[in-house]
Amino acid sequence: MRNKRDGSVQSVSRAVDLLEALSDGEEHGVTELGKQLRVHKATASRLLATLAQRRLVYRNPATDKYRLGLGLIHLAGSAMAGIDLIGQARPILEDLAATTSETVNLAVLDGNQVMHVDQIAGTRNIVNVSWVGRRTPLHCTANGKVLLAFLEAPERDRMLAPPLEALTGNTITSRRKLERQLTEIRGRGYARAIEELEDGLNVVAAPVRGADGGVVAAVSVGGPAFRMRPRELGKLGRMAMDAGAAISRRMGFVKGRRSNGST
């Protein structure tokens, strides 16, 4: 009607809303979901029936409640296979996780955020929170800073629409200061984020290059600040760099070639 001039298809949009509402991993009932989306339960019922028929949601026959379905794994699997990055990176991430005992992540640029596409949990961790599929800001994560550092300046400008939100006391909110760090990162080869995203969380990250020399992803090693002391970050950073280089090689990157950033 008035606000529908975005050209999007209402029922599809609502269906995606349903999927996202279910993405907490819990089971939800029809009425409950209807309320959450502000649509009548009849509508929710029909949308869910459609999604269930296509296996994007699964209906628990016992409780009659819905959760996300295995069809999504199929689609996501294809999405990942398309990238091919994850398959190539996996064994190297595992090595890196084994030698550092910390959590290792692989991340790519998604819009103006960092998308985590794979993770190997550190052996030292009790609780195993998966970051896969989660997005975080660019300016306050090690992965994000790597991805930013190797971007063209105009692109970077588009990504970094002010203000840079402060998530902890350490978050860099000045564009100038951030640019200085990015220059450092390009020179040194890896990035650090010291309690910039979460208090008590330190991360280092290094670039992964594709066949054409462009940076396509970032590998990170992260853990609690009490284990990842500043003086050890150098060693971990170099390990991340080695892993990044190894993945790059598998992606067809030939050493010595330079990413000049041209198309």
Residues near its own copies (CB under 8 A) are 6-9, 11-13, 15-16, 19-20, 22-26, 46-47, 49-51, 53-56, 62, 67-70, 72-82, 87, 90-91, 94, 108, 110-111, 115, 117, 121, 128, 130, 132-135, 263
Question: Interface with DNA includes 155 (CB under 7 A)?
Answer: no
Q: Which of 43, 168, 170, 171 binds DNA (CB under 7 A)?
A: 43
Work out how close the CB of 26 gets to its own copies at its nearest, in angstroms, rounded to a whole number.
7
With helix as H, strand as E and coil as C, how does 193-232 read? EECCCCCCEEEEEEEEECCCCCEEEEEEEEEECCCCCHHH
Question: Interface with DNA includes 29 (CB under 7 A)?
Answer: yes
Pairing type for strands 103-110 and 215-224 reads: antiparallel
Residues 6+ apart with CB under 8 A from 177: none
Q: Using the 8-state DSSP alphabet, how is residue 127 labeled?
A: S
80/194 with CB nearer its own copies: 80
Work out how close the CB of 240 gets to its own copies at its nearest, in angstroms, rounded to a whole number.
21
Most distant CA pair in the chain, distance: 61
Question: Interface with DNA includes 16 (CB under 7 A)?
Answer: no
22/147 with CB nearer DNA: 22
Work out how close the CB of 71 gets to DNA at its nearest, in angstroms, rounded to a whole number.
18
By a kind-dependent CB cut-off of 5 to 8 A, residue 133 interacts, out of DNA, its own copies, none, with its own copies
Work out how close the CB of 58 gets to its own copies at its nearest, in angstroms, rounded to a whole number.
8
Q: How many CA atoms lie within 13 A of 102 on its CB side?
A: 24
Burial of residue 111, with CB atoms counted within 10 A of its CB: 0-12 exposed, 13-18 middle, 19 or more buried: exposed
How far is residue 156's CA from residue 68's CA, in Å, rounded to a whole number? 35
Question: Interface with DNA includes 39 (CB under 7 A)?
Answer: yes
Query: Which element (helix H / strand E) includes 150?
Result: none
Our CA angle for 185, 235, 197, nearest 5°, is 55
Q: What are phi and psi of 129, to 5 degrees?
A: -85, 130
Question: Interface with DNA includes 206 (CB under 7 A)?
Answer: no
Question: Interface with DNA includes 41 (CB under 7 A)?
Answer: yes
By a kind-dependent CB cut-off of 5 to 8 A, residue 56 interacts, out of DNA, its own copies, none, with its own copies
Residues in contact with DNA by CB under 7 A are: 1, 4, 7, 9-12, 14, 29-32, 39-43, 45-49, 64-65
